[in-house]
């Protein structure tokens, strides 16, 4: 059983996008473990339901919601369903994301639009839809998932890096606008993390990125979830507008140049 001191979200209601797998799943489970009732939102209804089942198996509760978070209509419906099922909202975690890895010269406008739709437009939509409900909460917090790609070059995915850079800017400006209302807005920038999305990278793509794992390992979804839980909790009550790198130090250095690269 979770220790009482760790139940930072007892009585809180959380809305987590992309909750069906990877980092989103870990976030939903971590918030539920800490006492939150969680709206598990995902494009894959089955995946969302499976995460909710895991939460309930751990004596937590929540609801599963199928939604395309790049759709204004779907987001409005999802937020309404969450508020109806949970009785309100205290925490919004914008995690849903997709990546398309290809050189810029091969990137199509459709790729750009799709990446921005899921990775940035969705955050605009969820923040707007959730804002009236967050205003009613005494402990409102928004946590957006950015990426190491917003901070430095990683692999060839210009639209993804640009969208995740937009997340940093959205977070900063929204924090400024909402701070007077007591609503905190922060971001987490994960480095390479052991998820299905990371699994799509080839060894050559990882090598060419120059990433160096300073702490000697790749990240786990649970590493990111811990950072999100901290920023969403009252323990971070004096933190807003921040982007927290959770990268194992991958942004600190690159691998030394090989002699053939010099």
* Residue-wise pLDDT tens digits, 22-36: 999 999 999 999 999
**3: three-class secondary structure by DSSP:** coil
b/e sequence 174-196, b meaning 16+ C-beta within 10 Å: bbeebeeeebbbbbbbbbbbbbe
CA gyration radius, the chain: 18
pLDDT reported for residue 6? 76
Instruction: Give yes or no for residue 255 having a pLDDT over 60.
Output: no
Report if residue 2 sits inside a domain.
no
| 3-state class percentages of the chain: helix first, strand second, coil last, to nearest 5 | 50, 15, 35
Q: Are strands 243-246 and 184-190 parallel, antiparallel or unpaired?
A: parallel
Number of structural domains (the chain) is 1
| 154 band by pLDDT with thresholds 50, 70 and 90 | confident
Instruction: Give yes or no for residue 2 having a pLDDT over 50.
Output: no
Domain housing 18: 9-245
Question: In this predicted model, what pLDDT tens digit does every residue of 62-111 receive, in sequence order?
Answer: 999 999 999 999 999 999 999 999 999 999 999 999 999 999 999 999 99
Q: Are 241 and 176 in contact (CB under 8 A)?
A: yes
pLDDT reported for residue 216? 78
Instruction: Give yes or no for residue 262 having a pLDDT over 80.
Output: no
β-bridge partners, 15? 39, 92
CATH code for the domain in which residue 30 is found? 3.40.50.720
Report if residue 1 sits inside a domain.
no
Cα–Cα distance measured from residue 64 to residue 246, given in angstroms and rounded to the nearest whole number: 27
Q: Are 84 and 39 in contact (CB under 8 A)?
A: no
pLDDT reported for residue 7? 87
Question: In this predicted model, what pLDDT tens digit does every residue of 121-148 receive, in sequence order?
Answer: 999 999 999 999 999 999 999 999 999 9
Question: In this predicted model, what pLDDT tens digit does every residue of 194-241 receive, in sequence order?
Answer: 776 555 555 554 555 446 677 877 889 999 999 999 999 999 999 999
Name the average pLDDT for the chain: 90
| 253 band by pLDDT with thresholds 50, 70 and 90 | low
The reply to whether 153 belongs to the active site is no
Cα–Cα distance measured from residue 244 to residue 242, given in angstroms and rounded to the nearest whole number: 6
Report if residue 253 sits inside a domain.
no
Centroid of chain to Cα 3: 25
Which residue is it, tokens 């975690």?
93
DSSP for residue 241? S
- Region 29-53: what's the mean pLDDT? 99
pLDDT reported for residue 1? 39
Which is the catalytic residue, given 16, 37, 65, 160? 160
Q: Are 3 and 28 in contact (CB under 8 A)?
A: no
Cα–Cα distance measured from residue 226 to residue 122, given in angstroms and rounded to the nearest whole number: 23
Cα–Cα distance measured from residue 87 to residue 35, given in angstroms and rounded to the nearest whole number: 15
From the number of C-beta atoms within 10 Å of its C-beta (0-12, 13-18, 19+), residue 225 rates as buried
Report if residue 259 sits inside a domain.
no
Cα–Cα distance measured from residue 215 to residue 77, given in angstroms and rounded to the nearest whole number: 42
Cα–Cα distance measured from residue 156 to residue 149, given in angstroms and rounded to the nearest whole number: 10
The CA-based angle 127-94-155, given to 5 degrees, is 130
pLDDT reported for residue 204? 55
Report if residue 256 sits inside a domain.
no
Report if residue 261 sits inside a domain.
no
Taking the whole predicted model, whether its pTM rises above 0.75 is answered as yes
Report if residue 13 sits inside a domain.
yes
Cα–Cα distance measured from residue 63 to residue 116, given in angstroms and rounded to the nearest whole number: 27
DSSP for residue 117? I
Report if residue 258 sits inside a domain.
no
């Amino acid at each position: 059983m979770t220790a009482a001191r760790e139940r930072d979200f007892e009585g809180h209601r959380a809305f987590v996008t992309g909750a069906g797998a990877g980092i989103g799943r870990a976030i939903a489970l971590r918030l539920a473990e800490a006492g939150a009732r969680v709206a598990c939102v995902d494009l894959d209804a089955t995946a969302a339901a499976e995460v909710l089942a895991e939460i309930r198996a751990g004596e937590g509760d929540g609801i599963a919601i199928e939604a395309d978070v790049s759709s204004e209509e779907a987001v409005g419906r999802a937020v309404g369903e969450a508020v109806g099922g949970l009785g309100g909202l205290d925490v919004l975690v914008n995690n849903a994301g997709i990546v398309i890895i290809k050189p810029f010269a091969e990137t199509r406008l459709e790729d750009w639009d799709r990446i921005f739709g899921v990775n940035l437009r969705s955050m605009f939509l969820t923040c707007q839809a959730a804002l009236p409900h967050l205003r009613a909460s005494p402990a409102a917090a928004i946590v957006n998932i950015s990426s190491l790609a917003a901070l430095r070059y990683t692999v060839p995915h210009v639209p993804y890096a640009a969208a995740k850079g937009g997340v940093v800017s959205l977070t900063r400006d929204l924090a400024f606008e909402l701070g007077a209302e007591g609503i905190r807005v922060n971001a987490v920038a994960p480095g390479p993390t052991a998820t299905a999305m990371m699994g799509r990278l080839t060894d050559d793509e990882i090598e060419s990125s120059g990433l160096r794992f300073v702490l000697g390992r790749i990240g786990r979804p649970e590493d990111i979830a811990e950072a999100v839980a901290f920023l969403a909790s009252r323990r971070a009550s004096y933190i807003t507008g921040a982007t927290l790198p959770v990268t194992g130090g991958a942004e600190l250095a690159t691998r030394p140049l090989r002699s053939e690269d010099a």
